[in-house]
Amino acid sequence: MTQSESTARASAASVAGAFMNAFNELGRAMAPCEKAEAHFKEARKQALMGLRELIDSRIQKMSKDEIKATRIVAE
């Protein structure tokens, strides 16, 4: 590796590190307070429970709609 390639990689790593630090800092600054975080957690739970209800109702509907086969003797 040449000196210029080494310098370019170090510079890119430095820039990437700076971006990563900036995004981490932004994430900490934008983090919700404990009360809001608890609300969002409950909202995710409610959304999952809603999906579960949709799936359960579809399963029940499919079970009711099952067509029962009749055996026919062919000669």
* 74 alpha carbon, distance to own chain's centre: 54
Give pLDDT, residue 29. 86
Is the pLDDT at 17 greater than 80, yes or no?
Answer: yes
Give pLDDT, residue 70. 73
Residue 24 pLDDT grade (very low, low, confident, very high; cuts 50, 70, 90): confident
Is the pLDDT at 23 greater than 90, yes or no?
Answer: no
Asked if residues 29 and 22 have their Cβ atoms less than 8 Å apart, the reply is no
Give pLDDT, residue 36. 87
Distances (CA, A) of 40 to 14, 25, 29, 53: 35, 21, 17, 20
Tens digit of pLDDT for each residue in 48-73?
999 999 999 999 988 887 766 677 78
